Amino acid sequence: MSEQKLFDVAVVGATGAVGQQIIRLLSERDFPIRELKLLSSARSAGRKIEFKGREITIEEARPESFEGVDIALFSAGGDVSRALVPEAIKHGTVCVDNTSAFRMDPDTPLIVPEVNIDRISDHRGIIANPNCSTIQMVHALKPLYDRYGISRIIVSTYQAVSGAGASAIDEMLRQSREVLEGRQPEPQILPVGSLPKKHRIAFNAIPQIDKFVENGFTYEEMKMINETKKILGDDALEVTATCVRIPVVYGHSESVYVELKEDFDVEEVRRLLADAPGIVLEDNPAEQLYPLATEAAGRNETFVGRIRRDLSNPRALNMWIVSDNLLKGAAWNAVQIAEYIAVQQK
Amino acid sequence: MSEQKLFDVAVVGATGAVGQQIIRLLSERDFPIRELKLLSSARSAGRKIEFKGREITIEEARPESFEGVDIALFSAGGDVSRALVPEAIKHGTVCVDNTSAFRMDPDTPLIVPEVNIDRISDHRGIIANPNCSTIQMVHALKPLYDRYGISRIIVSTYQAVSGAGASAIDEMLRQSREVLEGRQPEPQILPVGSLPKKHRIAFNAIPQIDKFVENGFTYEEMKMINETKKILGDDALEVTATCVRIPVVYGHSESVYVELKEDFDVEEVRRLLADAPGIVLEDNPAEQLYPLATEAAGRNETFVGRIRRDLSNPRALNMWIVSDNLLKGAAWNAVQIAEYIAVQQK
């Protein structure tokens, strides 16, 4: 083997649900790391995390933390990214940002490697990781977009509570226990931690993820709409989204209606998806085989099934797309991007 | 008050989840009953149920059970209805059938009272109660259909386990306990009791309700498609459905995209819905107000919110429709129909 270049890497938000998955994936993928810096808020600084048999002490993330860092993966919230990504760039660090802070910035590439890795070189120090619910959808639709063209997407999501962080998982499990014991849960976090009203998530479905925009959509829905257009580089694409939180721990599911620009053959659609990188086709009604959140949890792939031609529009099809929102929807997509950066910088 | 005609009424499937709600509603609504016959399978016969302070012994449902019965409400499964509804008709009984057995029969009216009560007189002894997921959708869409016309509906459902019966509720609660205790549940009932493969429902989303049809849709999805057209009397209406079971006990939620035939004003849509019988408008993003399954549970109304104009198609809107699947979706709609029959026979 040729001598490998090694990188100084930082993970910002090292104690969060996504940060922990990033650290696990960097180890599992044998990412060419010389030094790994784990950064967090002051609150978590001082804690130790094991990485490849070594103990690394978490440090508070500060502007000067990025001195000498080649690649930083951010998942500590939009405010942290807005404050520290520009500082990291000053130090020459290439930042993979998992928050929404820079996603719609025209100078920032928004990357799903299987979809638009060709845009990665356009960056000025920041590469944005799309929203979890967007990533798995564009990942699954890309082979159809390339082969037939897509004119319109209508998606309804079934999103896991882990997308709202570890505290939302705790809340959902706690509420579930309370309901099973005949008690009335007192919601504290969901749907949106910073908003006054809380709704019970245990044994319920909440049609609100993130705050509302004036047009009646939520930010989560607008992210799916705008990010999908940006990633596919297609402003004419019509996208509608309804985003719903359901009592699932890991794994977002999506019911997707897609209008294609050309006639298609359903068997060819299945073949295209089966052959696409990172996609697992699970589509056999006779065997009751279709993607399930509980089975996608812990895996890096995007799972697709329930593929069927629409009965009212022969140019449209319906499908069911599932992926682990913390992995392909966040940590794995970010690590994939970091791997491409590493190859470029070799 | 004028002297009221009293009816001999039978409930077939008296021990089931829907049957029990029917009995409760007949009492609560003070249905003009002379004698109430509670019928079930041989297995449950002999059990006693209290009705308005009297104890009624459940009898096994047989062809001769309908002697003298004016109105019978069936919710004991399609096979029981197929066997016994024709026998009841021979005795002059008018049957309200909550199963899918006769719904698509051209001679059988399929009734949601707020939508097409004008068709109730067309019956030849059977009036069919539509599928739960269909009822709440057509109920909420009827005011828009009348005012603007509807060309297309695309719906994704979030359906409660109670739709699969009391044993499915038990299974979901048992599985939830097992997962919370760190155990691996062994699914036994869902998605479809009579099919070989079972999937876990606790903390999951199962994109299969009822068996698959050859076209890749499920029977539940085809019911929504075909029944919606029949109830609205509109074969040209384009309907697409994806039906999904989620871990909710009572209350189906639906994400509905609707294309209208005419321009509309969103505020007028809200007013039309607020004024429609049996509809509760819950639609205020600023207050995080929208329908929730846990809050619709136990209520007879259909709840509508998240109403917003589509961003890509100004003639379309998106909405969130929730109702208790055992009440408006089954028992309440059936009792409403029985009330109309009683008025007709007065």
C-alpha distance from residue B49 to each of B15, B243, B332 (Å): 9, 34, 19
Domain A7-130+330-344 has CATH 3.40.50.720: yes
Instruction: Going residue by residue through chain B, which has 346 residues, state the pLDDT in tens, using 9 for 90 and above.
Output: 456 899 999 999 999 999 999 999 999 999 999 999 999 999 999 999 999 999 999 999 999 999 999 999 999 999 999 999 999 999 999 999 999 999 999 999 999 999 999 999 989 999 999 999 999 999 999 999 999 999 999 999 999 999 999 999 999 999 999 999 999 999 999 999 999 999 999 999 999 999 999 999 999 999 999 999 999 999 999 999 999 999 999 999 999 999 999 999 999 999 999 999 999 999 999 999 999 999 999 999 999 999 999 999 999 999 999 999 999 999 999 999 999 999 988 7
Quote the tokens at residue A36: 């790994």
pLDDT at B76: 96
Strands A316-323 and B7-12 turn out to be unpaired
Task: Give contacts of B306 with chain A, Cβ < 8 Å.
Answer: 207, 216, 242
Q: Which residues contact B182 (CB under 8 A, 6 or more apart)?
A: none
Contact A216 B308 (CB under 8 A): yes
pLDDT at A260: 98
Active-site residue, selected from the candidate residues B132, B139, B199, B243: B132
Contact A191 B288 (CB under 8 A): yes
Instruction: Give the Cβ contact number of residue B152 at 10 Å.
Output: 18
Do the Cβ atoms of B145 and B238 come closer than 8 Å?
no
pLDDT at A122: 87
Nearest to B129 by CA among B92, B166, B102, B152: B102
Percent of chain A with pLDDT over 70: 99
Rg (CA), chain B: 20
Quote the tokens at residue A345: 């910088």
Q: Which residues contact B299 (CB under 8 A, 6 or more apart)?
A: B324, B327
Q: Is the pLDDT of residue A3 over 80?
A: no
C-alpha distance from residue A340 to each of A94, A120, A324, A343, B223 (Å): 12, 8, 21, 5, 48
Beta bridge partners of B33: B7
Distance from the Cα of residue A214 to its chain's centroid:
25
Q: Which of B206, B291, B312 sits opposite A292 (nearest CB)?
A: B206
Q: Is the pLDDT of residue A2 over 70?
A: no
Q: Determine the Cα–Cα distance for residues B214 and B209; give it in Å rounded to an integer.
A: 15
Angle between helices A332-344 and A17-28 (to 10 degrees): 50
What mean pLDDT do residues A47-57 have? 96
pLDDT at A199: 98
Q: How confident is the model at residue A1 (pLDDT cuts 50, 70, 90)?
A: very low
- The residue whose two tokens read 């590469």 is A127
User: Active-site residue B252, yes or no?
Assistant: yes
Task: Give contacts of B316 with chain A, Cβ < 8 Å.
Answer: 240
Q: What is the pLDDT of residues A178-188, one digit of tens each?
A: 999 999 999 99
Do the Cβ atoms of B23 and B38 come closer than 8 Å?
yes
Quote the tokens at residue A97: 């940002």
Task: Give contacts of B226 with chain A, Cβ < 8 Å.
Answer: none
pLDDT at B117: 97
Asked if the interface predicted TM-score (ipTM) of this complex is over 0.90, the answer is yes
Do the Cβ atoms of B97 and B128 come closer than 8 Å?
yes
**Would you name the residues of A annotated as active-site residues?**
132, 252
What mean pLDDT do residues A93-118 have? 97
Distance from the Cα of residue B212 to its chain's centroid:
20
What mean pLDDT do residues A297-324 have? 98
Nearest to B11 by CA among B67, B63, B64, B59: B59
A58 to chain B, minimum CA–CA distance in Å? 30
Q: Determine the Cα–Cα distance for residues A334 and A127; give it in Å rounded to an integer.
A: 9
Q: Is the pLDDT of residue A346 over 80?
A: no
- Tell me the domain boundaries of chain A: 7-130+330-344, 134-325
What mean pLDDT do residues A97-114 have? 97
pLDDT at B1: 46
Question: Is B18 annotated as ligand-binding?
Answer: yes
Q: Is the pLDDT of residue A202 over 90?
A: yes
Q: How confident is the model at residue A4 (pLDDT cuts 50, 70, 90)?
A: confident
Q: Do domains A7-130+330-344 and A134-325 have the same CATH topology?
A: no
Residue among A179, A204, A257 with most chain B CBs within 10 A, to mutate? A204
Q: Determine the Cα–Cα distance for residues B163 and B197; give it in Å rounded to an integer.
A: 19
What mean pLDDT do residues A71-87 have? 97
**Domain B134-325 - what CATH class?**
alpha beta
Q: Determine the Cα–Cα distance for residues B70 and B67; give it in Å rounded to an integer.
A: 9
pLDDT at B2: 55
Strand order in the sheet with B316-323: B238-242, B150-158, B252-260, B316-323, B302-309, B279-281
CA atoms within 13 A on the CB side of B19: 25
Q: How confident is the model at residue A226 (pLDDT cuts 50, 70, 90)?
A: very high
Question: Is B192 annotated as ligand-binding?
Answer: no
B187 to chain A, minimum CA–CA distance in Å? 13
Pairs across A and B, CB distance < 8 A: 164
Task: Give contacts of B200 with chain A, Cβ < 8 Å.
Answer: 292, 294
Q: Determine the Cα–Cα distance for residues B247 and A217; give it in Å rounded to an integer.
A: 25
Q: What is the pLDDT of residues A235-260, one digit of tens each?
A: 999 999 999 999 999 999 999 999 99
Strands A94-97 and A71-74 turn out to be parallel
Question: Is A315 annotated as ligand-binding?
Answer: no
Q: Determine the Cα–Cα distance for residues A104 and A223; give it in Å rounded to an integer.
A: 9
Do the Cβ atoms of B225 and A177 come closer than 8 Å?
no
Question: Is A103 annotated as ligand-binding?
Answer: yes
Q: Determine the Cα–Cα distance for residues B179 and A86; give it in Å rounded to an integer.
A: 43
